[in-house]
Amino acid sequence: MIANEIREKINSKGASVIRKMFEEGIVLKKQYGDDNVFDFSLGNPDLDPPAEVVNAIQELAKDTSHGCHGYMPNAGYPETRTAIAEKISQEQGLKLSGNNVIITVGAASALNCVFKAILNKDDEVIVPAPFFAEYRHYVSNHLGNLIEVPSKEGFNLDIEAIKSKLSEKTAAILINNPNNPTGKIYSEADIKALAEALNENGDRTGRYPYLICDEPYRAIVYDGAKVTPAFQYYKNAVVVSSFAKDLSLPGERIGYIAINPQSDEPDEFIKAATFALRVLGCVNAPAFFQKVIAKSWNAKVDYSSYRNRRDKLMAILDNAGIEYYRPEGAFYLFCKVPEKFNGDDMAFCDYLKKYLILGAPGNGFGGKGWFRLAYCVSEKSIVNSEKAFVKAMTEL
Ligand SMILES: Cc1ncc(COP(=O)(O)O)c(C=O)c1O
């Protein structure tokens, strides 16, 4: 028999709505033709992986040496951990070693390992809303409670509201920068203020919560925007990420965890998260792609086509009369549900479906009254969607 809790979760709304939209999109495309359905439901990058990745795959595929497909230490191949340590050192402006890194099965597995490692039953994880819908499951998987704190105007962090939720039960605050679903990049001042709030909590309660920075979109930024290196401001900071979005490898399931070497107990943290990776059944990240990444993690990728697509879609929405937050990174546009729908994002996404436009309702992301359009789709699809958007808004 299926467990009641899981039965409830699979029938509940939220992230499953996005998957449902994506699957409905496949059916609609069969019915109406690929070119006539405008599927903005899923964050599946449509750039091909860069040449450095493809070359590494081809070269490594020729390797037939004994043991090359075997197990390795659970935390990953030493050379891959060292390569990621170099990457994070460059991003954070602070020296890490391979011992501060674990290679994981994507960012999703990285987050689950971190939560398994740090959460006691009923511990709290604070998250600024809107947020990546799966966070709810990742935290509840490990018996924690997700505490949603709505963001301020312009999706800036509401530091005072976050402060009011901090306590000795707070195991972590989880930020996603650039953010899915808004494309927001948090300002340096906000990260600094957040770090101060976490330090105050530590001084008051003896518990310095982890600051978990989920950064799979770090490289995909526009107009010279920068993602603040949190390690410089807060000792108990952790980066979780993957190569799903920046190197277009979501299906290969390769990611990592990196702990600030200045944190309270970095070696214990790595031991605990490595144990979690093992007992959650991943054992280790895929061997082949660990080797690919060791060779190609610093591939140069031109993200300007995402910027072009963002600009084209923003112009279309302007024309149709749909309001949105102007994204500074990632490849999502978070849009306001028109007034006529009284904030009912689900109903508006259903309405758009009649015009063969697929978007994701904001409620699942903790952003009621909004909906998300993932513009990592072909430029042609974006351009062709204009008529449908204008028609849908005119016929409201
Ligand atoms: C914010 C965020 N975190 C984590 C993930 C999971 O990434 P991965 O596919 O590397 O597990 C995603 C995927 O969409 C995401 O948007």
Give the model confidence (pLDDT) of 117-160 as tens digits: 999 999 999 999 999 999 999 999 999 999 999 999 999 999 99
Q: Which domains does the chain have, with CATH numbers?
A: 4-49+302-394 (3.90.1150.10), 52-296 (3.40.640.10)
Q: 207 to each of 122, 162, 198, 267, 381, how far by Cα in Å?
A: 15, 15, 9, 18, 50
Distance 67 CA to ligand 1 centre (A): 31
Q: Give this prediction's pTM.
A: 0.96
Q: What angle do CA 17, 310, 249 make, to 5 degrees?
A: 60
Which atom of ligand 1 lies at the shortest distance from residue 241's CA? Answer: 10
Tokens, residue 374? 């993932």
Using CB atoms within 10 A of its CB, is residue 100 exposed (0-12), middle (13-18) or buried (19+)? buried
Q: 225 — phi, psi (to 5°)? A: -65, 150
Distance 156 CA to ligand 1 centre (A): 21
Which residues fall within 8 angstroms of residue 19, CB to CB, at 6 or more apart?
42
Question: What's the average model confidence in pLDDT over 250-263?
Answer: 98
- The answer to whether the beta carbons of residues 296 and 50 sit under 8 Å apart is yes
The pLDDT of residue 10 is 84
The best mutation among 44, 109, 180, 246 to test binding of ligand 1, ranked by most ligand atoms within 8 Å of the C-beta, falls on: 180
Query: Does residue 132 line the site of ligand 1, with CB under 6 A?
Result: yes
C-alpha span between 54 and 63 (Å, rounded): 15
What does the pLDDT look like over 376-393, one tens digit per residue?
999 999 999 999 999 999
* Average pLDDT value over all residues in the chain: 96
Distance 255 CA to ligand 1 centre (A): 10
Using the structure block, give the residue that is written with the tokens 């501060």: 100
Using the structure block, give the residue that is written with the tokens 């409830």: 8
The best mutation among 104, 109, 132 to test binding of ligand 1, ranked by most ligand atoms within 8 Å of the C-beta, falls on: 132
The pLDDT of residue 17 is 75
**CA-closest candidate to residue 266, choices 77, 96, 82, 115:** 96
Query: Does residue 178 line the site of ligand 1, with CB under 6 A?
Result: no
The best mutation among 242, 256, 376 to test binding of ligand 1, ranked by most ligand atoms within 8 Å of the C-beta, falls on: 242
Distance 249 CA to ligand 1 centre (A): 11
- The answer to whether the beta carbons of residues 329 and 303 sit under 8 Å apart is no
The best mutation among 104, 134, 239 to test binding of ligand 1, ranked by most ligand atoms within 8 Å of the C-beta, falls on: 134
Distance 216 CA to ligand 1 centre (A): 6
Question: What's the average model confidence in pLDDT over 34-50?
Answer: 94
Using CB atoms within 10 A of its CB, is residue 165 exposed (0-12), middle (13-18) or buried (19+)? middle
Which parts of 78-200 are beta strand (E)? 101-104, 124-129, 145-150, 170-176
What does the pLDDT look like over 293-349, one tens digit per residue?
999 999 999 999 999 999 999 999 999 999 999 999 999 999 999 999 999 999 999
Could you tell me the sign of the dihedral formed by the alpha carbons of 92, 94, 98, 101, in that order? Answer: negative
The pLDDT of residue 67 is 94
What does the pLDDT look like over 174-223, one tens digit per residue?
999 999 999 999 999 999 999 999 999 999 999 999 999 999 999 999 99
- The answer to whether the beta carbons of residues 104 and 252 sit under 8 Å apart is no
What does 188-227 look like in DSSP terms, one character per residue? HHHHHHHHHHHHHHHHHHS---EEEEE-TTTT-B-TT---
